Amino acid sequence: MLSKATTPVNAYPFLSGGGELGELTRQYDWQTTSLGTPDGWPQSLRATLSILLNTKSPMFLWWGSDLIQFYNDAYRPSLGDKGKHPTALGQQGADCWPEIWPTIKPLIDQVLGGGEAIWNEDQLIPIYRNGQLEDVYWTFGYSAVKDESGQAAGVLVICTETTGAVQDRNRLKTSENRFRSIVEQAPVAVALFSGPAFVITLANERVLQFWGRSRQQVINKPLFEALPEASGQGFEELLHGVYTTGERFVASELPVTLERNGRMEQTFINFVYDPYYESDGTISGIIVLCVEITQQVTARKAIEESEAKFRSLIEEAPVATCLFVGQELNIEVANEIMLGYWGKDSSVLGQPLAKAIPELAGQPFLAILDEVFTSGKAYESRGARAELEVDGLLGAYYFDFSYKPLLNASGEIYAIMQMAVDVTEQVLAEQQSKASESRFRSIVEQAPMAIGLFRGREMVIEIGNDLIFEVWDKDPSIIGLPVIEALPEIKGQGYIELLEGVYDSGEPFSGANLLVKLNRRGQLEDVYFDLLYTPLRDSFGIITGVMVLANEVTERVLSRQRLEQSERRYRLLSTELEQQVHQRTQQLQASVHDLERSNTNLQQFAYIASHDLQEPLRKIQSFGDLLKSQYGVELGDGVDHLQRMQTAASRMSILIRDLLTYSRIATGQESSQPVWLTDVLKRTLADLDLLIEETGASVRVDSLPTVWGNSSQLNQLFQNLLSNALKFNRVGVLPQIRISCQSVAAIDLPSSVKPTRLAAAYYRIDVSDNGIGFEEQYLDRIFQVFQRLNGKSQYAGTGIGLAICEKVVANHGGAITARSQPGQGATFSVYFPDQIIYAG
């Protein structure tokens, strides 16, 4: 217990001085302890305290049976803050040190019991201080202090806290262990050479493997004693230089000869010599980090040799060859043929392909190369078009080429090899051939004579027009079959042999009135032909097939046979027969003339009659309206008859107007000019605006072309088609109409479509609806005058509208057809010539 001293300080000279603890000792109320007041303390305690309080060494004293405690200022820091100080002063040991009492009490008892003094270094004795229990290390001695009777009355502790030193040593040891662990686990060979003799004090497994030695063979031995073969290879000078100067040394691909596996081997290494510093900054050794790269160097040299050979092969290759390296596609090597294709010289070598040949931008080749480099998949192409600048001119060239990815030793793509062959001449010739073939096919299909093309000596049917299929009584499914399979009945008739003869000899064959037995309509028929077999040759003059032109003359031959028979029987009547033939020919010509004149008169009659009938019809309608307005009341039930008369007159008026339109269009005398069909549709839809609104119809019009024609007639055409689409709608279904356009090549026209003018291509305008539709078996009937598929009571009309449409389309060189199913709507397709090449 601390309290104000009741005795002057100078009353106890042995307690004088001592700093903070001296002051606390003097102020302490010692009478509360078993020791009593200081004036009653034995001389041995007084002398010990005088020494304890005034020494600079940490001291601690337990005294008496209660082990009352004293300590000095030097010991004070060991108790920390917010710990046992100052309560430890005057406190019994057991009360002060409960956490370590089981440890230190036996030591105290040993000393008090007459045992020897105790000395411990760096002993871990945890104590409570700084608000917590801490691990504290001590170097201390316990010595007995004897009283006047010679008995041990106290234990003097001379101690030093070594926690910091112990922790420093532990950290150093941990660091050294960590360093050794890092060295052992390092992915490279690591060793430590100590002193100027370069004693191997540390070596991991990788460096031992590299040296070809065991740990026992090298550890704690000088380097050149453990590895005598390393001497004389320049390492002594290198190590000495690093050891004396402290400058790092780095080497790459350094050759070194070592004895490994019982024989001398040349190896290659990358290594670093770093000076090893002690804590005071002095160099005590050298750290070596080493990576053996023998395999890599050997492989690289092999690759370099291989690449040199590869480069030579590229440069001497008989076809255009080059090598692009890296993702940037740097031109590593290209032979003269490839440079010639590019129109470049050797100055482009080493440049990225995109820079060396800038015209490749926008062409697919750079992207293809990037894909090959990324995916590792080779790429080949034939007849690829490339635009290249050669001799200052940008031109189109065609190549067969391949891109092949090349892999390095690690399996990674490092380059792409290109090989190319200029096939420009072949491609252009092939394009011309295909164009010619396309024109030929078109001519064949549209020719007025049966034509077929047989390819190869097997006579495989490749092309046939509608007429030859009709002659054979076959459909186009036989294309691709040998003619002997498609027409097995001709076997043994000699025609296969004739075809083979033309193919083998190259000489054409022609024959007239030749009998061929063909299976037609389920039975074998005798059919007569005029035949021409012509060999077909490719651009090199090689025969590749035979073209057959056939003109069926069965009727002519039979007629001639009948004629010859008649001549034999009635030779005397030959003159009369000739006269009759001549007379019949004249009659036929006269009939044709009369038919043409009748057709002309019919059109003129329809035109004149329409005009002459209009005037009396208008008078009938006018007088009918007058009767109804002035005498409607007097007429009574007669008003109904009058209304029927007016309705009939109205239908008659519409009929006459349509006849007049049909007659005018049929004459085809109106002027023609370029007409934009979009404008025509706009006017037509404006005219039908009210009807469209009444029916609730939706009309969609796609982009339409400009055609050569008459705007008025075209307006009549689309007005009739759209009126029908609006009129023939299904009950309860809102009409939906679409007008679309697409271009159709002449060779792709349906066989049923026969335009009146021949053109390379046609515009097909489709007018589609979702109305009642019709049976397609009546397709030919709907375009005839006065032909109807529905009753007048249900759908009004004159039956002339579609006939007018057909006339308009014919006047414009085209054709019209339709497709439909009942209840599924209808689509009317109108074909207009695009580029007219012949008008007939």
Structure tokens at 623: 């007088």
Give the model's pLDDT for residue 639. Answer: 58
Q: Label each residue of 108-138 as H, E or C.
A: HHHHHCCCCCEEEEEEECCEEECCEEECCEE
- For residue 838, pLDDT over 50 is answered with no
Q: In this model, does residue 740 exceed pLDDT 90? A: yes
224-235: pLDDT as tens digits: 888 888 888 888
What is the domain class of 9-167 according to CATH? alpha beta
**Could you tell me the CA-to-CA distances from 656 to 612, 615, 621, 662, 712 in Å, in that order?**
10, 11, 14, 10, 18
Q: Does pLDDT of 752 surpass 60? A: yes
Domain 186-292 bears CATH identifier 3.30.450.20: yes
pTM of the shown model:
0.33
pLDDT digits (tens, 9 = 90+) for 803-832: 888 888 888 889 999 898 888 889 999 999
Q: What is the DSSP letter of 13?
A: G
* Start-to-end C-alpha separation, the chain: 139
Model confidence at 582: pLDDT above 90: no
DSSP string, 161-207: E-HHHHHHHHHHHHHHHHHHHHHHH-SSEEEEEETTTTEEEEE-HHH
Which pLDDT value is given to residue 803? 80
The winner for highest mean pLDDT among 27-41, 162-176, 622-636 is 27-41
For the segment 169-195, what is each residue's pLDDT rounded down to a tens digit?
A: 777 676 566 666 666 666 678 888 888
CB atoms within 10 A of CB 417: 18
The fold of the 670-839 domain, in CATH, is Heat Shock Protein 90 (3.30.565)
Q: What pLDDT score was predicted for residue 767?
A: 94
Q: Looking at the domain covering 303-422, what would its CATH class be?
A: alpha beta
pLDDT category, 564, cuts 50, 70, 90? confident
pLDDT band at 240 (very low <50, low <70, confident <90, very high): very high
pLDDT in tens, 425-469: 988 888 887 787 777 777 777 777 889 899 999 999 988 888 888
pLDDT at 116: 81
**Can you give the pLDDT at residue 802?**
81
Query: If DSSP codes are grouped into helix, strand and coil, which group holds residue 139?
Result: strand
What sign results for the dihedral spanned by CA atoms 748, 754, 755, 758?
positive
**Neighbour count for residue 71 (Cβ, 10 Å):** 25
CA-CA distance, 198 to 223, in Å (whole number)? 6
Quick one: pLDDT band at residue 360, thresholds 50, 70, 90? very high
Q: How far apart are CA 145 and CA 160, in angstroms?
A: 19
Residue intervals of the chain classified under CATH 3.30.450.20 are 9-167, 186-292, 303-422, 428-560
Stronger pLDDT, 764 or 727, i.e. the higher one: 764
pLDDT at 135: 73
Share of the chain above pLDDT 70, in %: 80
**Can you tell me the distance from the alpha carbon of 617 to that of 640, in angstroms, rounded to the nearest whole number?**
19
Residue 768 CA to residue 829 CA, distance in Å, equals: 9
Summarize pLDDT for 77-88 with one digit per residue, the tens: 888 777 788 988
**pLDDT at res. 497:** 92
pLDDT of 394 higher than 50: yes
List C-alpha distances in Å: 651 to 624, 641, 655. Answer: 15, 15, 6
Contacts (Cβ under 8 Å, ≥6 apart) of 804? 658, 661, 662, 665, 716, 717, 720
Q: What pLDDT does 608 receive?
A: 58
The superfamily CATH assigns to domain 428-560 is: PAS domain (3.30.450.20)
pLDDT band at 6 (very low <50, low <70, confident <90, very high): very low
Non-local CB neighbours of 277 within 8 Å, separated by 6+ positions: 283, 284
Query: Which pair of structure tokens corresponds to residue 727?
Result: 């009129």
Interatomic CA distance for residues 606 and 658, integer angstroms: 10
- In this predicted structure, the answer to whether residue 667 has a pLDDT above a threshold of 70 is no
Q: What is the pLDDT of residue 598?
A: 46
Confidence of residue 359 (pLDDT cuts 50, 70, 90): very high
pLDDT at site 836:
44
What rounded mean pLDDT belongs to the chain? 82
For 297-332, what is each residue's pLDDT tens digit? 887 787 777 777 777 777 787 888 999 999 999 998
Handedness of CA 137, 143, 145, 151 (dihedral sign): positive
